[in-house]
Structure 1
Amino acid sequence: MRIGYACVTIGPEDTQMKTCRQSNSSEALLMELIAHNLAALDRQIDYNIRNGIRLFRISSDLIPFGSSPVNRLPWWKSFEQTLSGIGTKICANGMRVSMHPGQYTVLNSPDPGVVERAVADLTYHCRVLDGLGLDKQHKIVLHVGGVYQEKEAAVQRFLIRCQALPEAVRDRLVLENDDRSYHTGDVLAIASRSGLPAIYDNLHDQVNPDPASEGVKEVIRAFGRTWKKEDGPQKIHYSQQDPEKKAGSHSASIAIDAFLDFTVQLPGRNIDVMLEVKDKNLSAVKCILCTQSGTKIKDLED
């Protein structure tokens, strides 16, 4: 079981991504920022390797304005060697990475402009992973999108537009159940129709449950059947509710007892678990240590 975290590494110096305002985005500044961000990513990967973290989500902010006409640089060529070096390090250490476009990347929108920008954004994310030289086990996580008062029509738009994507992009896509519009049953049906694998998110399932669900363990098994060999091991998202915030808000840290109770429900050990939590790598290290045999109290205190 690989356990990881998303985007931000707390503690190590010079691992933060930088960006700029659109009005200041000269080619020279963009080149400088990209070089900085790739160096920051390299340091994040080094930190993960040192701490036994073999699952990581790369920030979508890696390349400033990466999917926008604002950035017309052929950055994937200019930084080809740097990207390749980072990717080689990822592969050599058995690490799996992913990316997760934001809430405005919506393929099934009725607005053609939104769809055009979504395709550009997915293409950008794919270009990052391709530039790193990674195979299609390294995924781009996507929500189905909105309902727009007519759910089946929205699903149909998603399926059509997904099929029209470049093959390289489509091969990396994986669907996730969300906390508002598409529950686990919806996503399993869409995964079946599209041929895409699906990621189970436990907190989204709690907030937006499928009324016909047969329970967490069976749902995770069903999601696992959407993953083909070439997609790599099944991956899931795990988080805990912040008790002081609205439903679906991630907790500050992972409570170990609840996490260990959850892992008992997993149908096997060959599942990757992405933690979505405010303290990021700190909870990842804690959860990794608590699931390893032979861990001592001193390890947890350190």
Structure 2
Amino acid sequence: MAPITRSAGSVSVQERPILHSSTGIDEALALVMEDESDLTPLEDVDQVPEKQPRTPKKKAAPKKVPVEDDKRPGEERHSKSRNTRKPRKRATSQENTVTDSEVPPKKRKRACKPEPIYIIPDVEKKATPFRGRLGYACLNTVLRTRKPANEAIFCSRTCRIDTIKKNGIDWVKDLGRQNAEDMLKIIEWNEKNNIRFMRISSDMFPYASHETYGYSLEYCAAVLAQIGALAKRYGHRLTTHPGQFTQLGSPRGSVVRSSIRELEYHAEMLDRMGIDQDGVMIIHGGGVYGDKGAALARMKDVIKHKLPARVRARLVLENDELCYNAADLLPVCTELAVPLVFDYHHGMLNPSPGLPPSAIITQANEIFRRRGIRPKQHYSEPRAGAVSIMELRAHSDRCQTLPEGLPDDMDLMIEAKDKEQAVLHLYRIYDLCPVIHASLRPPVTHETKETKGRKSARKTRSQK
């Protein structure tokens, strides 16, 4: 078939008809090769596949289509396929060698995020004649949540026994030293914010009272002395509250011995701080073990005959919400001259028949004064909407009121989840002390009734 020729300016362009057969394509290619200088190249001619019979039930593999890459002069041209990728060239050992002149790039430091702007809601103002000290327990939420995490300040770092076995006792003792050093910073923050009453965490020295892994606090004596001196200079009161496993009325000798070791550890910590008699140690009555009278008799015997004098000098009992109300403990406290801390929340859940809180406070504070110790009591509120006993036992995030009839010379420990924020909240409500606005944090919008505590291991295993 003869080509069709037309003139386009000074350039002669040959137009050829579209050829559909394979023979026609071969002829067209041959003509192009004869006079390539006068014609624009036919691109992608080889992309027109030759018709092949379709194989049933088998998909034909995609055909590789080479595409020319734009290359700089002197570079070798190569083809790429849409369905295959040329493997990357691995660097040789010579290429991986870092010369002396090369310097590894510096790690870019993460920029510190600016402190968020908190919207603090107004509070409903109330009045009270109380002018004593309010305190909080163990943890400062503002300092604990500082960023970055390695700059957080808290005095309750702890671990598991498996970690002690792995890292050694010196590693655990170093945790205690860090906790004690952070206690100095917490006291400074408290002073700045007019909070002069605090409970020290029982976990400040992890496993210090353990039968196998226990240790003396002599190694940290200097830091403990600094804590006591700082608290004394500012007029702060520091107390402790050993854990629920401290059971002086237990029928098991091993439990009683562990309880005494725990009390000795707390007494040593307070003694090394140089804290005076106001630094008390509060424990609950414990379990009834099927016979409350027998349990109380064992508790009295341990206090009178088995506790070291320095431990008994700081011991204080507290009513609880399940086993021992204030009426159960007041006779023991009066007989042994052991002060009683009255917990308002526990008293609400486990009341003393015929003995209102005002009468309990009067009798309890009399024992404190007889011993020359400044009276202290505990206050907390259940969460809004709580109904069941388990829900009612949980402390609210913050307290909205103060109990009536509080003596002016008494310290009141606020046992709330928001810790120092709960104290500052009451400061604002009752105008008890000046408040630094930058130290305030907003409360949660909706307070849950769940305790957020650790779930029972027994229940977890049963669900698997």
Name the structure 1 match of 2:264: 123
User: C-alpha distance in 2, partners of 1:294/1:78?
Assistant: 38
Matched, 1:4 2:135: yes
Alignment check: 8 A CA contact 1:197 1:228 kept: no
Q: Aligned pair 1:15/2:153, yes or no?
A: yes
2:248 counterpart (75, 97, 107): 107
Q: CA deviation at 1:23?
A: 2.0
Q: CA deviation at 1:242?
A: 1.2
Q: Which has the higher helix share?
A: 1
| Aligned match of 1:281 | 420
Match of 1:232 in 2: 373
3-state SS in 1 of match to 2:142: coil
Tell me the residue number matched to 1:247: 392
- The alignment yields a C-alpha RMSD, in angstroms, of 2.1
Using a 3 Å threshold, how does the CA distance of structure 1 residues 198 and 86 change in structure 2: closer, same or farther? same
**Bigger radius of gyration among the two:** 2
| Paired position in structure 2 for 1:208 | 350
Distance 1:177 1:72, change over 3 A: closer
| Structure-1 separation of matches of 2:161 and 2:433 | 51
Structure 1-normalised TM-score? 0.91
List alignment gaps of at least 5 residues for structure 1.
Answer: none
- Tell me the amino acid that sits aligned with residue 56 of structure 1: M
How many angstroms does 1:293 deviate by? 5.7
Determine if contact 1:289/1:300 at 8 Å carries over to the other structure.
no
Q: Distance in 2 between matches of 1:63 and 1:200?
A: 27
Report the AA paired with residue 276 of structure 1. E
Higher relative contact order, chain-length normalized (CA < 8 Å, sep 6+)? 1
The answer to whether the Cα contact below 8 Å between 1:5 and 1:281 also exists between their aligned partners in 2 is yes
Alignment of 1:176 with 2:318, yes or no, is: yes
Which of 224, 243, 248 is the aligned partner of 1:83? 224
Measured against aligned partners, the alpha-carbon deviations of 1:219-251 in whole angstroms (never above 9, x if no partner) come to 211211111354422100000011344222100
The letter of the residue matching 2:405 is Q
Q: In the aligned structure 2, how far is the partner of 1:296 from the partner of 1:112?
A: 49
Q: Per-residue deviation at 1:92?
A: 1.1
Q: AA paired with 1:99?
A: T
Give the drift of 1:207: 0.2
**How big is the shift at 1:271?**
0.6
Q: Distance in 1 between matches of 2:251 and 2:432?
A: 51
Query: Normalized against structure 2, the TM-score is what?
Result: 0.60
> Following the alignment from structure 1 to structure 2, what is the Cα–Cα distance between the partners of residues 209 and 157?
24
How many angstroms does 1:24 deviate by? Answer: 2.2
Q: 2:209 touches 2:215 (CA, 8 Å); kept in 1?
A: no
Distance (Å, rounded) in 2 between the aligned partners of 1:85 and 1:219: 37
Given that 1:289 and 1:299 are in contact with CA atoms closer than 8 Å, whether structure 2 keeps it comes out as: no
The one-letter amino acid of 1:71's match is Y
Give the distance between the partners of 1:94 and 1:28, measured in 2 at CA: 33
CA contact (8 A) 1:137 1:230 kept: no
1:265 counterpart residue number:
405
Q: Is the 8 A contact 1:86 1:132 kept in 2?
A: yes
Q: Following the alignment from structure 2 to structure 1, what is the Cα–Cα distance between the partners of residues 321 and 231?
A: 31
Residue 158 (structure 1) shift: 0.4
User: How many pairs align?
Assistant: 294
